[in-house]
Amino acid sequence: MRKAKWAAAAAGVVLLVAGCGGGGPDKGTGPSSGSSAPAGAGAEAEGGSLDAAAVTKEIGDAATAAGFTKKPSDAVPPVLASCMVDWAVDGEKATNAKKSYDDTVAALAKNGWKESQSFDQKGSVIKSLAKSGWTLKASHHGQGGFVTVMFIATDNSPACEKAFREDLEKNKNTQ
């Protein structure tokens, strides 16, 4: 089950990085042009660079300040750890998940994350934000008393795109 979950996540990330995430191109989701940075470096022309630890800290700081607690979850596979951050919210501990979600996204925007796409329909909100070669999908799904909030960030560098493709292929062969 866990391998299937990561294979699906990796497939989604590969499609996102390749610009096939649905609904047209997503600003900031393609590989950094001309970048030969190692996995996790994520440098972009707009300046600065982030690694997975810095992205985790930025998401964590914004989310906890907004009232969220991180939900324990499966760890990102070691081969993808420098390319992906998964910050799932413990919905049972959130007082007002929608307000905390909005506050988290606002705090990330104040910290330089630029919104490039937004989807809002029938209780689900998904926002794409980009910063320094990383794409962050912030999602809030809430219907019928069930609430799920997640922040998943991926490094768009060519090295990470390659790592996601290799992990996807490896998991296809083990299912």
* pLDDT tens string 12-37: 443 343 333 333 333 333 333 333 33
Only one residue has tokens 């060519």, namely: 158
Q: What pLDDT shows up at residue 175? A: 62
Distances (CA, A) of 109 to 8, 100, 106, 129, 161: 28, 14, 5, 8, 25
**Chain segment 154-170, per-residue pLDDT in tens:** 999 999 999 999 999 88
Average pLDDT in the chain:
76
**Chain segment 40-64, per-residue pLDDT in tens:** 333 333 344 799 999 999 999 999 9
Q: What pLDDT shows up at residue 146? A: 82
Residue 54: count of CB within 10 angstroms of its CB: 17
